[in-house]
Amino acid sequence: MLAYEEFVDFIAKGTSPSKVVAFRPSKTTKDRVEDLIYREKNTGLSSDEIAELNHYLQLEHLMRLAKARALRYIKNES
């Protein structure tokens, strides 16, 4: 799954609060998620695709939490 690879690479390279805030998924990942959401609403998904979409949503939630925490760290450093 591309999103996991991007996330793992991001962590493995080392990071800082400002890099966490700036992190954005690739266009390929965004396009895949948009496609899955569109098809979920319109034509339905296979069980594998539902699991894939759920993983993307979990990663997005994790990054939102990390970004909120990183913003707090940045604010406290100022």
pLDDT tens digit sequence for 7-38: 888 888 888 999 999 999 999 999 999 999 99
Q: Tens digits of per-residue pLDDT, 43-69?
A: 999 999 999 999 999 999 999 999 999
Query: 21: how many CB neighbours lie within 10 A of its CB?
Result: 15
Model pLDDT, residue 18: 94
With a cut of 80, say whether residue 1 has pLDDT above it.
no
On whether the pTM is more than 0.75, the answer is yes
At 33, phi and psi to the nearest 5? -65, -45
Structure tokens at 15: 């990071």
